[in-house]
């Protein structure tokens, strides 16, 4: 489970780096779009995977928190492309806030999970 959460954290971090890189350089090119697409593909796979897990009773609360993080990541996937193409700064800000909340939740879940090992 910790490996799974690490993968989620890594993919969210990779997206944040790509987003910051585009912001700093002020440019979005085909390579960047391809990289973001790859990150969103991996993120979607991980989101789908966790939704079908039936956790042991003692981890149900933790699993519920992880599902909320997945909802935040799904929001990013569903809204970031339109927000970026329309230069909708408010929606971009919501996407980045959702990403930050998801990463924080995942980090907290990893920390809590370590107490069960």
For the chain, list the domains and their CATH numbers.
Answer: 2-114 (1.20.120)
The Cβ of residue 94 has, within 10 Å, a number of other Cβ atoms equal to 16
Question: Which conformational region is residue 26 in: left (phi greater than 0), alpha (psi within -120 to 50 degrees), or beta?
Answer: left
Per-residue pLDDT, 19: 78
- Over the stretch 69-79, which tens digit does the pLDDT of each residue have? 999 999 999 99
- Other CB atoms within 10 Å distance of the CB of residue 93: 11
pTM of the model: 0.82
- What string of pLDDT tens digits covers the 117 residues of the chain? 668 788 888 888 888 887 777 665 666 678 877 888 888 999 999 899 888 888 889 889 999 999 999 999 999 999 988 888 888 889 988 998 999 999 999 989 888 888 876
């Amino acid at each position: 489970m910790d490996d799974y959460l690490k993968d989620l954290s890594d993919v969210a971090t990779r997206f944040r780096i790509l987003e910051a890189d585009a912001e700093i350089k002020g440019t979005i090119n085909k390579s960047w779009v391809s990289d973001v697409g790859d990150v969103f593909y991996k993120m979607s796979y991980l989101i789908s995977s966790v939704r079908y897990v039936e956790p042991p009773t003692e981890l149900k609360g933790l699993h519920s928190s992880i599902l909320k993080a997945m909802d935040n990541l799904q929001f990013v996937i569903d809204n970031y492309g339109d927000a970026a193409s329309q230069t909708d700064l408010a929606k971009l800000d919501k996407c980045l806030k959702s990403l930050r909340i998801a990463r924080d939740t995942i980090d907290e879940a990893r920390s809590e999970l370590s107490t069960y090992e």
